[in-house]
Amino acid sequence: MRTEQTMTLEIFRYHPETDSEPYFQAYEVPYDEDWVVLDAINWIKDHVDGSLTHRWSCRMGVCGSCGMMVNGDPKLTCAAFLKDYYPRPIKVEPLVNFPVERDLVVSLDGFMEKLQAVKPYIIRDDVNDTTGGEYRQSPAELARYKQYSMCINCMLCYSACPVAGHEEEFLGPAALALGHRYNRDSRDRGRAERLDVMLAGEAIWGCTFVGECTVVCPKHVDPAGAIQQAKAVAAQEYFKRFVMPRGAKGAET
């Protein structure tokens, strides 16, 4: 319902070709209790300032592209309702712990590299061999990783994670949860080579289980839980080396 009221959005602005430092610009937007923050930003872009740059696509919590800091909290702006903030002003910033490309748009480069690093796909020698039919999986086997497969790569977890901001080597919540998702998949045989990546340096060990990644995740993936489980697997593997030298590496699920 559109009303006569308005509210203020204070938006982070940064255009690299003209600005050496970012600044905040206040915009007055109509207050509609059905609107989400993304609607208000789109309204500004369409009616007030076409130079405002932001990412969005599905506006229904599936695509994962409209993540921003809303009053300091990483949120999907398509799921952050104005009525939850009205009448106070809303401060909108690009996701923290990422370099800012322009206004509300952050660089995805580092995140994409980290996602690819964990080999987020099923690894097995006979992956193209269909002579035996499909690779079957029971509902119980599916249940072991399904939660970790719900990630939409919105990167809110990276903005909630202090370690992601401080440690370059840290692969971060989403990438590690995705690696763990494949490690728990009964069809996969690539656990050993995936663990080689996940357990190197600070890739996983940078995590100190702050747990805020899980708090902000819009898809209830629980990356914090996934990471601790992966660490427990790592500890088991570490001590197994002494019990079973060589051998069973990679065969287990």
Q: Which residues bind other proteins (CB under 8 A)?
A: 14, 16-17, 21-22, 72-73, 96, 99-101, 107, 139-140, 142-144, 160, 162-163, 165-167, 195-197, 199-203, 205, 208-212, 214-215, 222, 224-225, 228-229, 231-232, 234-235, 237-239
Please, which residue, 87 or 99, has the CB nearer to other proteins?
99
Q: How many residues are there in the chain?
A: 253
170 with 207: CB under 8 angstroms? yes
The first and second tokens of residue 110, run together, are 């580092």
Residues 64-81: b if buried by 16+ CB within 10 A, e if exposed: bbbbbbbbeebbbbbbbe
Please, which residue, 1 or 136, has the CB nearer to other proteins?
136
Please, which residue, 15 or 83, has the CB nearer to other proteins?
15
CB of 174 vs other proteins, minimal distance in Å: 16
CB of 168 vs other proteins, minimal distance in Å: 10
* CA–CA gap between residue 77 and residue 90 (Å, rounded): 11
Please, which residue, 62 or 100, has the CB nearer to other proteins?
100
Please, which residue, 122 or 142, has the CB nearer to other proteins?
142
Residue 183: how many CB atoms within 10 A of its CB?
22
Please, which residue, 175 or 224, has the CB nearer to other proteins?
224
CB of 109 vs other proteins, minimal distance in Å: 9
Of 253, 160, 154, 151, which is closest to residue 207 (Cα–Cα)? 160
Residue 38: how many CB atoms within 10 A of its CB?
20
* CA–CA gap between residue 7 and residue 3 (Å, rounded): 11
The first and second tokens of residue 38, run together, are 């993304």
CB of 35 vs other proteins, minimal distance in Å: 26
Fill in the amino acid letter for 75.
K
Of 236, 228, 184, 237, which is closest to residue 209 (Cα–Cα)? 228
